[in-house]
Amino acid sequence: MKSCENCGMPLRKDEQVCGHCRENQEQQDKVKKISVSIPFEKILNNLKWKPLSKKGKTLVFTSLIFLAILIGIHLTISSLINPMSVVEEFEKAVLEKDAKQLASIINKGQKNYSISEKEAASYISYLTKQNNFTTIDNQLKMQANELDDSHEFVPIPITDKHGNHLVILNKDYKKKWLFYDQYYLEFYPFSLTVTSNLPNTEVFVNDKKVTKIQAAEEPVSIGFVFPGEYQFKGTFKGEYGDITKEENINLTEGNGNSFSVYLQLDGQYVSISSNHDDAILYVNGKSTGQTVNELESIGPVNMDGSIKLHAERKVNGKTIKTDVIPVTDESGIDLAFEEEEEEEYEYVAASTDTKFVDEVSQFMNDFYIAGVQAINSRNISVAEAYHDPSGTSLGEAKEYLKSIEKRGITEEFISMSLIDLQEAEGGYKVTTQEDYKIFYGNGAKKYKKFQTLYYLTKVDGKLKVHSLLKTEEIESKDL
């Protein structure tokens, strides 16, 4: 019994069509005969390739080499820009203390602050000595592995032992040469503020001027830095000399990625006193042009003894000086004059007319008493008889009285001493010293001593004050 050539079901000998699959058995036989009739050797001969020419062989060989180069380049680029290689480059720079390479890596990873090679070296010390760099490195490698395995992984910043952000491994949104993902380390600089105890302080960091602090005790932001050691200098340029403070500060203990530096310059205000506060104050041998009473204090000044103070005053035409005292602390400086017995000089003309000297002395005493009465009563006529109508003293006294009245001042005359009496053309030059208590409208009270030079004349045989030539305050103190 034969079977169907198509489905294999049994067929009768004379059955030409399969009752199962309906395949015509006669056609199947023809196909079979045709396929068998083609010799196998002929088929193999037809399948044989023709030998390649020398040019063809060269083309094939070149193509294979080019393909191998492309594959090599692809593998090399992939290995160089994968996240792990970025971390390993950072690790190598830190462990080998390659400050130049680390500076390049950091500056590529942030734009806030351009770190120098010297600062990068200090940053390496911070990473390895102030922190556990092995922990930082391992955390970055874990992020690199995660980024390689998952595109959905979101890295978080690596922190130092104080919780400040240091670095994070990021994927660049731009591809390299359109095909390759890029990765980089983003670094976090620290903001820096500086404060000084003195106003108008110029601030330098690593010899570079960064700001000028206008107000004392007021923090000023000067930008960003990375942790490490820096040289800070503050300079105050004052009326009494420059004050400078330099110190190396290791910025390691930040808070919230910020550092604060306080520059304590060795300059303070110093109070000045004297037993003669009308004396002129001198600083390092130069006159301030102001009395001790007017200044009361000076500063800011250095406390290192480089500032030296003394005071000067004139007595009877002689200059008297205090000792020179260096400023070394804030306790205050007392510029004391040695007390000497004040000599009264009576110059008498060649005639040695003591009676006339007494007359002049009495006249001047009465003149001062009348002047104080005129001031307190606000009435110049009380003292008008003592003035020469042709002179200038009466007019000046009237103007002075107006000024005194506006300020609410009254006076108490204490005493007068005749210091000098000389004949002059048409009259006499008289020098006196007079003491007063002066009461100001604001309630202040002072003792004052003056040395005054007048020109006297005689009118109808009587002494008169013609003009005030000079007056000088030689002592003043509060009551």
Could you report the per-residue pLDDT of 147-170, keeping only the tens digit for each? 766 666 778 999 999 999 999 998
- Closest alpha carbon to 158 in 130, 195, 133, 126: 133
Position 71 in a domain = no
Do 98 and 118 fall into the same domain?
A: yes
Percent of the chain with pLDDT over 70: 78
- Closest alpha carbon to 32 in 57, 2, 62: 2
- Closest alpha carbon to 186 in 86, 96, 82: 86
- Closest alpha carbon to 321 in 313, 333, 330: 313
For the ranges 180-194, 347-361, 408-422, which has the lowest average pLDDT? 347-361
DSSP state of 128: I
- Give the per-residue pLDDT at 104: 93
Q: Is the pLDDT of residue 316 over 70?
A: no
pLDDT band at 48 (very low <50, low <70, confident <90, very high): low
3-state DSSP helix/strand/coil percent for the chain, to nearest 5?
A: 30, 40, 30
pLDDT band at 97 (very low <50, low <70, confident <90, very high): very high
Structure tokens at 119: 């600062």
Number of domains present in the structure of the chain: 5
Q: How far apart are CA 2 and CA 13, in angstroms?
A: 6
Position 341 in a domain = no
Q: How far apart are CA 104 and CA 117, in angstroms?
A: 9
Average pLDDT over residues 251-273: 91
Among 279, 304, 334, the domain-final residue is 334
Higher-confidence position of 278 and 74? 278
Could you report the per-residue pLDDT of 196-247, keeping only the tens digit for each? 999 999 999 999 999 999 999 999 999 999 999 999 999 999 888 889 999 9
Residue 100, C-beta contacts closer than 8 angstroms, at least 6 positions apart: 117, 120
Q: How far apart are CA 377 and CA 360, in angstroms?
A: 26
Structure tokens at 258: 């910020």
Decide: 200 and 213 in contact? Cβ < 8 Å.
Answer: yes
Higher-confidence position of 477 and 73? 477
Position 39 in a domain = no
Q: Is the pLDDT of residue 108 over 60?
A: yes
pLDDT band at 80 (very low <50, low <70, confident <90, very high): very low
Position 49 in a domain = no
Whole-number CA gyration radius for the chain = 53
CA 345 remoteness from chain centre: 60
Domain that residue 469 falls in: 354-478
Q: For the sheet with 258-263, list strands across it.
A: 220-225, 190-196, 258-263
Average pLDDT over residues 4-14: 69
Q: How far apart are CA 18 and CA 7, in angstroms?
A: 9
pLDDT band at 338 (very low <50, low <70, confident <90, very high): confident
Do 255 and 274 fall into the same domain?
A: no
Could you report the per-residue pLDDT of 362-399, keeping only the tens digit for each? 999 999 999 999 999 999 999 999 999 999 999 999 99
Do 410 and 445 fall into the same domain?
A: yes
Q: Is 35 exposed, middle or buried (0-12, 13-18, 19+ CB in 10 A)?
A: exposed
Average pLDDT over residues 313-334: 85
For the ranges 36-45, 112-121, 321-330, 383-392, which has the lowest average pLDDT? 36-45
Do 176 and 99 fall into the same domain?
A: yes
Average pLDDT over residues 97-122: 91
- Give the per-residue pLDDT at 318: 78
- Give the per-residue pLDDT at 53: 65
Q: At 468, which CATH number?
A: 3.10.450.50
